[in-house]
Amino acid sequence: MIIGGTTGKSGKQGKMSVLLVFDVDHVESNPYRPSIRSLAMKVLPTNLKRERQTRIQRRSKPSQSHFAKRSIFGAEGRYLEEPFPQVKLPVLGGYFPLVSMHSDGQAAKCNRRYGLTEYTVAPVNVQESLNMQDALNWLVTRSEGTTWRGVASGKFEVDPRTHKKREKRDLLLVYVDEKPELDARTASYFGSGSEITEAQFEVDAKAVCDALDGVVREYPQSKLNLFLIRKVSDGQAQVALAEAPPVKDVLKAAEWWQQAGRDNVPDVSMYLPEETSNDQKLSAVDDARPLAPHPDQVVRLLSHQWVRNGALPQGSRGKPQKASQEIVGPGLGEVLALMKLRMEGKCETAAMRMVDLVIRRLGPLLIGVFGAQHAYGPRRAEGQHEPFPRTSRNTALRAVALIGILLDALGS
């Protein structure tokens, strides 16, 4: 029990307060947690306060006795006593330290709340820090789509040059425990690129699943490691998602995802007009059908609010108008929950939320594009100045596939 109070300007006793603390003593361990010890030091005799101040000063150059006898990973060796090494991360644009807990004057006050900053937060030996740096360097220097890929975050930022909204992307790291050097484009299973493209999930998934199937036969208990790294400020990034689903579950999820997006939908088709995209000419397609989207395409589908029945305004004057507006959408983690690759038991909750988002955000586009097709025929959108270009129609087809997936996840 700690009793404290204040003394008023007149010397009279001020407000009194009592703090009652219960702490559990574990066998062969210090009975006080660092936070409780710090609190006790503030009210104990002056000589102990002086000792505490000395300990704080020593933190600028900590010794091994300041930490446990082993690192947080259980290894022995000379402790790291300098900032953690940095790695240049693609997508996020810049170098980022493995652990970032700055202590300088510009750092957030919460960084210094418990007196441990920089390398003292995570005691590791020098070799461990170099091993982690080498591992991360290896993952991000392979070709994009194998062990890493930029994926949609569901959030947007304003481009300082154009003053327009642009998609904020996260860095996804993917590798199999026993086969990190797998040549398959494993990261492409989860993402298709920076925009809603015509890349087919079935094509990427088949190549990845064929490779993973070989891994499972050799290592039945193998797991697929997923790390989603997000930039939070210049020089600082954080792990926004860390999952390790069994490879067997990934294979099952791919099979179900494609089947639900293909079979649990109405028998619809759509005409896709000829279009030039990224200097590549895309031929017209008469009867394009719903395609199961990549997981990060689901994020993009649900992070746009379509307006005016999804049609581009005809002959508008002044500032150009858009058929959809950028809006915060679900993250990749929620899509993985829908695929039953994380948060066991949360699939139905994720599906219900996304059904609501599909109706409100994609509903206008679906009503508009299918309504026009019904009223005027499948080729109504052909031509550069027509209201429903190829990209809008492709988005509608992916939305139909997503509806089939969501309803299947809900047992409908």
d(CA 49, CA 42): 7
pLDDT (mean) for 236-251: 93
**Which single residue is written with the structure tokens 């695929």?**
339
d(C-alpha 335, C-alpha 249), whole Å: 15
pLDDT at residue 273, rounded to an integer: 83
The Cα-based distances of 133 to 92, 181, 232 in angstroms read: 17, 17, 20
Give the mean model confidence (pLDDT) for residues 84-106.
Answer: 85
pLDDT for position 83: 85
Decide if pLDDT at 148 tops 70: yes
Half-sphere exposure of 241 (CA within 13 A, CB side): 24
| pLDDT score at 68 | 45
Give me the mean pLDDT over the 246-275 stretch: 92
pLDDT > 80? residue 140: yes
CA–CA distance, 189 with 335 (Å, rounded to integer): 13
Give the pLDDT band of residue 62 (cuts 50, 70, 90).
Answer: very low
374 phi and psi, to 5 degrees? -70, -40
Indicate if the pLDDT at residue 48 is higher than 50.
no
> Nearest-CA neighbor of 112 among 162, 188, 183, 56?
56
How far apart are the C-alpha atoms of 228 and 149, rounded to whole Å?
10
What's residue 8's pLDDT?
64
The answer, yes or no, to whether residue 256 has pLDDT greater than 50, is yes
pLDDT score of 319: 56
Task: Sheet with 224-233: list strands edge to edge.
Answer: 148-158, 165-176, 224-233, 236-243
Residue entry with tokens 């481009």: 159
Give 144-209 as a DSSP string.
TTTSEEEEEEEEEEE-TTT-SEEEEEEEEEEEESS-TT--S-GGGGT---SS--S--HHHHHHHHH
- Give the mean pLDDT of 38-63: 52
Mean pLDDT of 145-158: 92
Averaged confidence pLDDT in the chain: 82
Per-residue model confidence as pLDDT tens digits over 307-354: 888 877 665 555 557 889 999 999 999 999 999 887 777 899 999 999
Q: Which pLDDT value is given to residue 384?
A: 44
pLDDT the model gives residue 282:
82
Between 16 and 62, the higher pLDDT residue: 16
What is Dmax (Cα atoms) for the chain?
A: 90
* pLDDT in the model for residue 385: 47
Q: How many CB atoms lie within 10 A of CB 256?
A: 16
Range ranked top by mean pLDDT from 225-234, 339-348, 381-390: 225-234
Per-residue pLDDT band for 50 (boundaries 50, 70, 90) equals low
pLDDT in tens, 16-26: 777 776 655 55
The residue to which tokens 């082993």 are assigned: 70
Please say if the pLDDT value at position 51 is more than 80.
no
* Nearest-angstrom CA–CA distance, 168 and 157: 6
Instruction: Please list, in sequence order, all residues whose beta carbon lies within 8 angstroms of the beta carbon of residue 78, skipping any fewer than 6 positions away.
Output: 125, 126
Distance CA 212, CA 247 (A): 7
